[in-house]
Structure 1
Amino acid sequence: MDTMVQTVPQRATAMDSLGCSTASLSADHVLCTEGLTFRRKSAAGTYRSRVATPAQDRGLLVGVSLVDGHHRRGGEARRRQDRIFDRGDIYIRDFDEDYAAELDGSFDFFLIELSTGFLDNAEQITDRGRGRDLTRVQGKRDQILRHLAQALLPALAQPGEFDPLFVEQMAMAIGAHLLHQHRSAPTGAAGPEACPLPPLAIRRAKDMLMSDDGERPSIGNIAEALNLSRHGFFRAFRDSTGVTPYQWVLNQRIDHARRLLATTDLSLVEIALTCGFSDQSHFTRVFGRIEGASPGRWRERAR
């Protein structure tokens, strides 16, 4: 199944799906991928409120604080706590229990909603056995997850400007990190170590990544075509090429752009669209990061 990245519209009501009042939120972003929903919720100043969500069949919620000093009192009925969350502190809780908490002070949280099927399909992410679960924690420090969250924040704010392949790759990294770092009672035998793909498989994967049939490439589809898990394909492709699938696609687009800049009079907008970038701004940003010069300046030097 293709990964679909979309912005989820917020309801025009006082409370959101996490039981949080939307009136005082300074950031309220949502981004969906297969099995994971990412959110950013923040409020500045002396924000005081109460959040409450009834028990529901919805999976797990992971929250990572992006700032210091958020004070929260409450939780599930059996695990009520009074805690201050600093930058990089996380919590993992179930949706299948009633939850209520008092929020005191400003906050900025990156939230990951794991669907009920996420853990059931964990072996498709990690290659290391079925039946995995996550430890429920409150206030545990995880700076790696915070850095992964920070990398995804721009895509939450402006999802239309980011390649779905990048978002899918980041979602895989976050899911794999959670399963490796916060697992509890893993079961099943360890899977095989990743090994380089054979030349025919590499060629097929590259052809699919560069397909121009109008559909965005999906790591899940390519992995299925090669009879691998998503994470297994990701690691094997990286071991074979030295770069991730998304980085490889970017390199191909930049190579194509360099050729067009040097040998044609196409405008930057035309080159951007021809090479698969969403617009000229996206092209200029990526090209400048890789080449150290804007496309226009690079063209002047090349000629």
Structure 2
Amino acid sequence: MSAQVQTMTRTAGATDSLGCSTSVLSADHVLCSNEFVFRRKAASGLHHSHVATPAQDRGLLVGISLVDGHRRKGGEAGRVQDRLFDRGDAYIRDFDNDYAATMDGYFDFFLIELSQKFVDEAERITDRGKGRALSRVQGHEDQILRHLAQALVPALAQPDAFDPLFIEQLATAVGAHLLHNYRSQNGLADDNVSTLAPMLVRRAKEMLMSGEDEKVSIAHIAEALNLSRHGFFRAFRDSTGVTPYQWLLNQRIDHARRLLATTDLTLVEVALTCGFSDQSHFTRVFGRIEGMSPGRWRDRAR
């Protein structure tokens, strides 16, 4: 799983891969996560511009407005629409048709590019033909998707400060939400799995605790259990009461407590031993769960 931020060079008249003028953007971040590309694009104050994207083989684009008062007029050839987007209004459109629109008002969008691989898997899971797995919508209110997007916004700006598994878990939640709420017909193949057998729960936990960063991946574990990522995520949560990321964090914090109480390891050594990226990451997570810093907790424990 990879995560990276892409900073756009703002040259007058230049446009990005979505047809936006880069010179007017006040926020322009990119985060890649397996089958998704997450973007946040915003312009300060009232905004007026034109966007155009030629047809290309690129999957689907999902957009969710993070502010009120965005008006967009345009669309695919022969399907021009005039829409007002408020906070939490979403759209889904194809990349394989020419698209053009004028935009007025406030502009702050969280954008999700769904890869062709994700689209193909959605078609298999929903047992729908090409291009029919997910409904195309314009201005559909979706506050759950907005909250998921806002949880990812900080990671777009500072991906190195976030655990890759946390980012992947949110990406999986986004994918599962889209499949559940925008599928064209009911019925999900292996996503109908409600819980995991005890043996599979143990195997999933062992893989999560393997300590090999490249192995601590929802996609990798799901593949080993012969499930889709979305099916594994939901079945693990229903079996254990917590998500894979929450379970792993709990194990790391439990290990950290034992080391803090019984050893003289430095906080840096405890952080790295327990699987945190650095002391800052460890202190932030520990403080959120325990309500105090690791150093203060150690003093109290002793």
**Counterpart AA for 1:142:** D
Change (3 A) 1:21 1:209: same
| 8 A Cα contact 2:190 2:228, kept in partner | no
| 8 A Cα contact 1:128 1:191, kept in partner | no
2:90 matched residue in structure 1 = 90
Change (3 A) 1:71 1:25: same
Change (3 A) 1:135 1:208: same
Percent identity, please: 73
1:199 matched residue in structure 2 = 198
Change (3 A) 1:192 1:165: closer
- Distance, in Å, in 1 between the alignment partners of 2:188 and 2:149 is 30
Give the stretch that moved more between structures: 41-50 or 189-198.
Answer: 189-198
1:69 aligns with 2:92: no
TM-score if structure 2 supplies the norm length?
0.91
Change (3 A) 1:162 1:216: farther
Q: CA deviation at 1:120?
A: 1.1
TM-score if structure 1 supplies the norm length?
0.91
Q: CA deviation at 1:205?
A: 1.4
1:99 aligns with 2:99: yes
Give the stretch that moved more between structures: 35-44 or 259-268.
Answer: 259-268
1:241 aligns with 2:244: no
2:163 matched residue in structure 1 = 163
Report the number of matched residues: 298
Q: CA deviation at 1:229?
A: 2.2
Q: CA deviation at 1:8?
A: 4.0
| 8 A Cα contact 1:46 1:106, kept in partner | yes
Q: How is 1:237-276 mapped onto 2 (pairs within 5 angstroms)?
A: 237-276=236-275
Change (3 A) 1:64 1:48: same
| 8 A Cα contact 1:120 1:130, kept in partner | no
Partner SS state of residue 84, structure 2: strand
2:3 matched residue in structure 1 = 5
Q: Which runs of 5+ in 1 are unaligned?
A: none
Give the stretch that moved more between structures: 110-119 or 59-68.
Answer: 110-119
Q: CA deviation at 1:192?
A: 6.9
Q: CA deviation at 1:267?
A: 2.0
Change (3 A) 1:256 1:68: same
Give the stretch that moved more between structures: 175-184 or 85-94.
Answer: 175-184
- Distance, in Å, in 1 between the alignment partners of 2:301 and 2:66 is 43
Change (3 A) 1:245 1:214: closer
Could you give the per-residue CA deviations for residues 66-90 of structure 1, whole angstroms, max 9, x where no partner exists? 0000122222122212222100111
2:229 matched residue in structure 1 = 230
Q: CA deviation at 1:199?
A: 3.0
Q: How is 1:7-156 mapped onto 2 (pairs within 5 angstroms)?
A: 7-8=5-6, 10=8, 14-122=14-122, 129=127, 131=129, 133-156=133-156
**Counterpart AA for 1:4:** S
Q: Which runs of 5+ in 2 are unaligned?
A: none
- Distance, in Å, in 1 between the alignment partners of 2:220 and 2:177 is 22
- Distance, in Å, in 1 between the alignment partners of 2:159 and 2:287 is 21
**Counterpart AA for 2:3:** V
Q: CA deviation at 1:256?
A: 1.0
- Distance, in Å, in 2 between the alignment partners of 1:165 and 1:33 is 10
Change (3 A) 1:84 1:123: closer
Could you give the per-residue CA deviations for residues 74-114 of structure 1, whole angstroms, max 9, x where no partner exists? 22122212222100111111111111111222211000111
CA RMSD of aligned residues (A): 2.1
Change (3 A) 1:29 1:81: same
| 8 A Cα contact 1:121 1:130, kept in partner | no
Could you give the per-residue CA deviations for residues 109-135 of structure 1, whole angstroms, max 9, x where no partner exists? 0001111221211278xx654545222
Give the stretch that moved more between structures: 228-237 or 172-181.
Answer: 228-237
Partner SS state of residue 296, structure 2: helix
